[in-house]
Amino acid sequence: MTKLRLSKIFIIVASAVLSMVLLLGCVDRPTSTPDDTTSSYVWVEDPPIYQEGMTLMFRDEFSGTRINPDNWDFQIGMGSQGPVNPWGNRELQFYRRENAEVRDGNLIINGRRQNIIFRWHGNGNAEELYATHLPLDQINFNAIPRLEGTTPADVTVLTSGASAGFSNQVGRLYMAEFSSVRMRTHDRFSQMFGRFEARISLPDYTAMWPAFWMMPERNTITGGGWPRNGEIDIMEARGRDPYHVTQTVHIGAGTNARHRWLGRRPDYRLPEGTTIRDFIEYRIDWHPDRMEWFVDGVSVFTLQAYTWRNPPGAGFGGTTNENPGTSAGWGGVWYNPETNPNLNVGTNTAHLLRPDRLGAPFDHPFHMILNLAIGGVYDGHRRPLDENEYNVHGELVESRFEHAELKVDWVRVWQFDEYLEWYFCFDTNTPMMGE
């Protein structure tokens, strides 16, 4: 049984539907709230908010003094693939809890030029040993207890993210040149269907890869995890392009679970005079038969369930760069809703992924993720600038990267009242749709 975990900061809007569901006993309700006398967190009661036809399920306004641990979990290090391919995207940063803070009513995710020396233990375990702004050759290793007896020659520096020329070696020392944050609501809050939204300001430095996205709370499709069980990207951006944001889903198509992505092209261009540095509301409305993305209340893309039931290569049009000849091929279909808004609408009920689950893989709860990656595949393995960049007129275009901030004003999740009973009575061991 999926549990709804609430703290004082969450406000559940009373409704007849919700009351009926609770009376039926389909959800475990909290019996206590955090103890202010034993916690260093200052709890703030935010004023109630309402939306017609919806019930508020999750809310974090970042009104307290620290990040609420009942809402957010932190992913640390380099990911399961380790230094040879950080986070599966050849990213450059080491994720740390210390880079996140609450300031002036906002969550702040700090991306920094910062040397993080760590030891790789395998199985996704990267143990941070030392964080510094000093160059590697200026670090006095013998003055650091956890590094005593080693030298700079013992440290492999991750300079490109591709990590060519070596493999993960258990026990070896590595150094990332950047640090940042990846935080999620996993094991704290997840939901199937509904409205997921956040008001966010993004950094506009080269190689910044900010994202607000969702992953499955658990894998319900056998034969692999990602991408076969789905990914929903509410918003991604490239820091060097402050005028565009992207919206995408990822699936694993066919019997060999080839990676396919479905999204809009061209990338949505923000209104004149607006850049990603401004606070903008990013949102997705997720229904059983479609997903619709919004930017500051403007609908920018709709994806019908038909499309993820019939992934690339299944006979619908679009611009594709898929490679069906290889079992591990990457490829995708990009839709331009301005020139052909009906491209992803169809009547074929076939499902190449799971014929017995017509909504798969988007028919089970997903949790939210906020992160600021640095480098990686999304923008061609670019590095942050190591030197100031000037144009032909000698004018400064972009400074050497030292520090960037991703700021979040609030995160909210609503459930459409018509799906409330599905949400509260969802059995995480049994798919709801297509049965």
Q: Return the CATH number at 342.
A: 2.60.120.200
Do strands 403-416 and 194-201 pair parallel, antiparallel, or not at all (unpaired)?
antiparallel
Higher pLDDT, 251 or 127: 127
Whether 141 is in a domain gets the answer: yes
Average pLDDT score over residue span 13-20: 39
- How far, in Å, are 43, 157, 402 from residue 177 at the CA level? 36, 8, 11
**377 and 266, same structural domain?**
yes
Task: Count Cα neighbours of 229 within 13 Å in the Cβ-side half-sphere.
Answer: 18
Predicted confidence (pLDDT) per residue in 420-434, tens digit: 876 554 444 443 333
Is it the case that residue 334 has pLDDT exceeding 70?
no
* Mean pLDDT on 189-205: 97
Name the residue range of residue 153's domain.
Answer: 74-180
pLDDT(305) > 90: no
pLDDT given for residue 166 in this prediction:
63
Give percent above pLDDT 70 in the chain: 71
User: Does 314 have pLDDT greater than 60?
Assistant: no
Give pLDDT, residue 356.
55
- Quote the pLDDT of residue 106: 98
Examine the domain organization and report whether 331 and 313 are in the same domain. yes
Do the domain assignments include residue 9? no
Q: What is the pLDDT of residues 133-176, one digit of tens each?
A: 999 999 999 999 999 999 999 999 987 655 555 678 899 999 99
Flag whether pLDDT at 346 surpasses 80.
Answer: no
Q: Which of residues 353 and 310 earns the better pLDDT score?
A: 310
Q: Determine the average pLDDT of the residues in 278-304.
A: 94
The number of folded domains in the chain is 2
Res. 36: pLDDT tops 50:
no
Q: Which of 291, 417, 424 is nearest to 359 (CA)?
A: 291
Domain boundary among 136, 151, 180: 180
Q: Please provide residue 145's backbone torsions phi and psi, each rounded to the nearest 5 degrees.
A: -50, -40
Looking at the structure, do residues 211 and 329 belong to the same domain, yes or no?
yes
How does pLDDT run across 41-69, given as a tens digit for each residue? 666 778 889 999 999 999 999 998 999 99
Do 192 and 300 have their domain in common? yes
Q: Percent of the chain scored above 90 by pLDDT? A: 55
Nearest-5° angle of CA 97, CA 98, CA 101? Answer: 95
Domain's final residue, options 122, 156, 180: 180
CA 417, 419, 422, 423: dihedral to nearest 10 degrees?
Answer: -70
Task: Please check whether residues 229 and 310 belong to one and the same domain.
Answer: yes
**Residue 232, pLDDT score:** 96
Please determine, for residue 329, whether its predicted confidence score (pLDDT) is greater than 60.
Answer: no
Query: Domain check: are 268 and 359 in the same one?
Result: yes
Same domain, 189 and 309: yes
Residue 166 lies in a domain: yes
> What integer is the mean pLDDT of 405-414?
98
Position 343 confidence tier, pLDDT thresholds 50, 70, 90: very low
What pLDDT sits at residue 335? 61
Same domain, 165 and 239: no
For tokens 């996993």, the residue is 186
Residue 144 domain-assigned (yes or no): yes
- Amino acid letter, 243: Y
| b/e per residue 115-153 (b: at least 16 CB within 10 A) | bbbbbbeeeeebebbbbeeeebeebebeeeeebeeeeee
Under the banding of pLDDT at 50, 70 and 90, the label for residue 257 is low
Q: Average pLDDT in the 391-398 region?
A: 86
Q: Is 379 part of a structural domain of the chain?
A: yes
For residues 246-265, average pLDDT: 75
Any domain includes 155: yes
- Please identify, among 152, 180, 208, the residue that sits at the C-terminal boundary of a domain: 180
pLDDT at 426: 47
Residue 16 lies in a domain: no
Same domain, 159 and 195: no
Q: What pLDDT is attached to residue 393?
A: 82
Query: Do 259 and 282 belong to one domain?
Result: yes
pTM of this structure: 0.83
For the segment 200-246, what is each residue's pLDDT rounded down to a tens digit? 999 999 999 999 999 999 887 766 678 878 999 999 999 999 999 99
Residues 395 and 349 reside in one and the same domain:
yes
- With respect to residue 7, please indicate whether it lies within any of the assigned structural domains: no
Whether residue 249 contacts residue 262, with contact meaning beta carbons closer than 8 Å, is answered with: yes
Q: Are residues 266 and 376 in the same domain?
A: yes
pLDDT interval class at 262 (50, 70, 90): confident
